[in-house]
Amino acid sequence: MAEGLKILVITSELGGFSKSGGLADAVGALSQQLVRMGHDLRVITPAYASVEQRNQASTVVDSLGVPLDSGEIWCRVLESSLEIEPGASLPKVSVYLVEHEHFYSAKIFMVRMVRNTRIMLSVLVF
């Protein structure tokens, strides 16, 4: 097989980290399959207050400026990992947790936060 692709997944939910519905399951299943196919997969997702892995994650970027219409906001990027199949020889998936107190301090998908979550993830990557 040819060398795998490098894939970046940007999602508001990820099974094992944050889940409020079927998106977390779908992203988790897709991630597993892509890794099994030999692709290098990385995931960016919010570090909601309910994400327990925040405590075990290491800081990758301590201070990252994200330009928004209202001015630049600052966030922190943490790195954790997701084991695809416990005990299997598959590589773990690197998960980057975007931490910003104002946007992600509430539990996942509080109504007032949904718009901010989408904006932050979109602008951060592009």
Q: What is the mean pLDDT of each run of 10 residues along the chain (126 residues)?
A: 84 82 88 90 85 70 78 85 74 84 61 58 64
Name the pTM for this structure: 0.77
Per CATH, which fold does 6-125 belong to? Rossmann fold (3.40.50)
Task: Give the domain ranges of the chain.
Answer: 6-125
Please enumerate in sequence order all residues whose Cβ is within 8 A of that of 95, keeping only pairs 6 or more positions apart, or say none. Answer: 14, 17, 42, 43, 44, 45, 53, 79, 80, 81, 82
